[in-house]
Amino acid sequence: MEREAAAQRRRLGGFLALLALLLGVAGLAAGSDGWSWRVLLDPDAALIVGQIRAPRTVGAWLTGALLALAGAVAQGLFRNPLADPYLLGSAAGASLGVVIVLAAAALGGHAIGLATADTLSRFGLVSAAFIGALGGVMLTLALAAGAQQTTRLLLAGVVVGVVLGACSDMLTTLAPEALQGKQTFMLGTTGFLGWDSVVVLGGGLLATLPLAWRLARALDALTLGEDTARTLGLPLARLRAALVTVLALATGVAVSQAGLVAFVGLVSPHLVRRFAPGPQGWMLLASAATGGALLLGADVLARSLIAPQELPVGVLTAVLGGGYLLWLLHRRGVR
């Protein structure tokens, strides 16, 4: 039984690696003129493929991996299959950060001073989203008085999400010019990922994945229930704080570069659980690889389906991941 499960895991691992490779190649070929290999021989290949498609491809995989890692951590931490990376106020915080920067230009001279508006616009959307995401989670932690109680943490996350969401809605009411930028951010976009984004995303994954791996044993203990975990002598509050940090960092880095890409974080751990369940350490790694493949696949489709136009990548992740999950559920129900 255990040997069969291990073989299953190996198969999924191999499949995900192969998928990443194939999609990576597809990512270099899919572009604004649909599928074409000719551009690789073009004199502009260095620019179009080297500076645009390659970082976008790598960046999409990394973003998906970060979100799925955060999703797996969230689902393990809260022992709830509905948990996703945006649970603890990070999404609302990041949107608020983005809206503040977008609205700054519009509100300049009216509600706020021109100098402030200028500083805010210089600050940039990326850093605003990152700081907003971390700020949202910190606010949640403060409201929940630390990570002592899971329910309290969840509730605080919901409240922070609602309140910060209301704040950004109010700002867009005062500065409707910010609406379109906000919508783009909320849909998620992989179109602006460059090598600098890849460095940030890669750094984020390098920082969070080993930490999550080290915390995986605590997550394993948590699956047995909090009381059992406590009797095993685990410092639950500290571990939970560390897990929330991983969650916030991974989510913050991902959304700062690509916006609130939907569903990858929620659906990836489910897919792994369905095909090759295993200990939490495996879950974290395999979820990350699944998320990477899912978002990269969605990105390749987003570029090529209606080329030269583009679909919002968040719409495709929801359709792909959600549709697949529904199909799985349906099949399981029929059996």
Partner 1 sequence: MPGEAGERTMSAIKQVAVFALLSAMAATAAAQVELRDARGRSSTWTTPPARIVSMVPSITEGLCALGACAKLVGTDRYSNWPESVKALPKLGGLDDAQVERIVGLKPDVVLAAPSARAVGRLEALGIRVLVLEAKTHADVERSLTTLARLVGQPAEATLLWAAIQRDLKAATARVPAALRGQRVYFEIASAPYGAGAASFIGETLAQMGLGNALPPELGPFPKLNPEYVVRVQPDIVMATRRAVDEMPRRPGWDRLRALQMQHSCGFDAERYDMLVRPGPRLGEAAQTLADCLIAIDERDRRAQQDNGAKAPTR
In the complex, the residues that contact partner 1 under the rule CB under 8 A are 31-33, 44, 47-48, 51-53, 101-102, 104-105, 110-111, 121, 124-125, 173-174, 176, 180-181, 183-184, 189, 191-192, 194, 196, 303, 308-310, 312
Q: Please, what is the minimum distance in Å from the beta carbon of residue 111 to partner 1?
A: 8
* DSSP-based helix, strand, coil % in the chain, nearest 5: 80, 0, 20
Nearer to partner 1, 118 or 224 (CB): 118
Q: Please, what is the minimum distance in Å from the beta carbon of residue 268 to partner 1?
A: 25
Quick one: which of 33, 42, 200, 48 has its CA closest to 127?
200
Determine the Cα angle at 62 with ends 86 and 125, to 5°.
60
Q: Name residue 320's beta-bridge partners.
A: none
Q: Name residue 112's beta-bridge partners.
A: 108
Q: Please, what is the minimum distance in Å from the beta carbon of residue 15 to partner 1?
A: 29
Q: Please, what is the minimum distance in Å from the beta carbon of residue 93 to partner 1?
A: 18
Report DSSP state, residue 262. -
Nearer to partner 1, 124 or 277 (CB): 124
Nearer to partner 1, 184 or 317 (CB): 184
Q: Please, what is the minimum distance in Å from the beta carbon of residue 183 to partner 1?
A: 8
The 3-state secondary structure of 265-300 reads HHHHHHHHHHHCCCCHHHHHHHHHHHHHHHHHHHHH
Kindly tell me the burial class for residue 53, based on how many C-beta atoms sit within 10 Å of its own C-beta (0-12, 13-18, 19 or more): buried
Nearer to partner 1, 192 or 213 (CB): 192
Quick one: which of 43, 19, 107, 90 has its CA closest to 250?
90
Cis peptide before 308 (omega within 30 of 0): yes
Nearer to partner 1, 212 or 313 (CB): 313
Q: Please, what is the minimum distance in Å from the beta carbon of residue 301 to partner 1?
A: 15
Report the C-alpha gap between 260 and 249 in whole angstroms: 14
Tokens of 253: 């880095």
Nearer to partner 1, 40 or 174 (CB): 174
Nearer to partner 1, 9 or 53 (CB): 53
Q: Please, what is the minimum distance in Å from the beta carbon of residue 263 to partner 1?
A: 19
Report DSSP state, residue 312. -
The continuous run of DSSP H or E covering 302 comes out as: helix 280-304
Q: Please, what is the minimum distance in Å from the beta carbon of residue 194 to partner 1?
A: 5
Nearer to partner 1, 146 or 194 (CB): 194
